[in-house]
Amino acid sequence: MNCSISGEIPEEPVVSRNSGLLFEKRLIERHISDYGKCPITGEPLTLDDIVPIKTFPDLSGTGKATCVKFGPDSKYVAVGSMDRNLRIFGLPGEDDVPAES
């Protein structure tokens, strides 16, 4: 999971609500401040459109897994890591959402 600007693994990862692209926070904040648009899609982008994502050690202890919830009303969370595929999970307590897809 690399930054869409630098190609490096972000120290402070954020994701665009609009495109789903991953960025290093300081790089995308500077780009938004300078240009007001996504550097990849060219679509308008504001600081409110980027969401910080949490990283935590993966279960194997070999790397980091990333978890992101797409907004306060979201019923899903995405979890991925460097060595595993992205997986989408329904949040607990949501009877109408599948447990995993």
Q: Does a structural domain hold residue 62?
A: yes
Does an H or E element contain 23, and which? strand 22-24
Residue 57 has pLDDT above 80, yes or no: no
pTM above 0.85, yes or no: no
By the 8 A CB rule, do 75 and 97 touch? yes
Domain that holds residue 19: 13-52
C-alpha separations of 48 from 22, 44, 81 in Å: 15, 11, 25
Q: Does a structural domain hold residue 21?
A: yes
- 73 in the same domain as 45: no
User: What is the torsional sign of CA 19, 23, 27, 30?
Assistant: positive
Count of the separate structural domains present in the chain? 2
Per-residue pLDDT tens over the stretch 12-36: 888 888 888 889 999 999 999 999 9
pLDDT given at position 30 = 97
42: domain CATH number? 3.30.40.10
- 66 in the same domain as 45: no
- 43 in the same domain as 18: yes
Q: Does a structural domain hold residue 64?
A: yes
Q: Does a structural domain hold residue 60?
A: yes
